[in-house]
Amino acid sequence: MSKIKIHLPPADQYQNLKVQAYLENLKWGSILSKSIGANFLAVFQPVLHFKDFKTKQETPHAAGNIPHITRDILYKKLVKNKSTINFIDCSDLFKNNKENIYYDKIHLFEGYRVYPAKCIGDFLLKNKDELLNKNTSEIKFTPEEYFMIGR
């Protein structure tokens, strides 16, 4: 049986492709939200890779791709382009924490789930007036129609 070889682009090109895919997803999330009269908020969530001190139990889950580069490039592009997309960065919530927080790459143990929720809640409360007063266009179509007409 022959093995299929997959040729990935060089690392820097791959990062740029990932960032472009994220930006497209954020753009479409924003468009779809506006189409139903809602404001969009992207959240950079905390994941194990953003934690500097990994416990013995967490270390086996830390192998693999490291999202720091993607997050940093994405963040710079959103800020540099003065993006209209609302976003909040909660990714470093556990950066210096030495406790056992993650049971895999992205999932938190029960007692720690309140922290990302608080990060998001605090942002929403602090920015509620701005988020509620953003200009949202009148709903003229459903999200399904949006894809059908290709705008």
Locate tokens 């200009």: which residue?
A: 135
Contact of 56 with 2, CB cutoff 8 Å? no
More confident residue, 134 or 87: 87
Q: Residue 43 forms beta bridges with which residues? A: 88
Locate tokens 């139903």: which residue?
A: 36
CA 30/CA 89 separation, integer angstroms: 17
Helix (H, G, I), strand (E, B) or coil at 28: helix
Whole-model pTM: value is 0.70
The C-alpha angle 144, 148, 151, rounded to 5 degrees, equals: 100
Domain chopping of the chain, boundaries: 11-149
Which residues touch 55 (CB under 8 Å, ≥6 apart)?
A: 98, 99, 100, 101
Per-residue pLDDT of 109-136, as tens digits, reads 999 999 999 999 999 899 888 777 655 4
Q: Residue 85 forms beta bridges with which residues? A: none
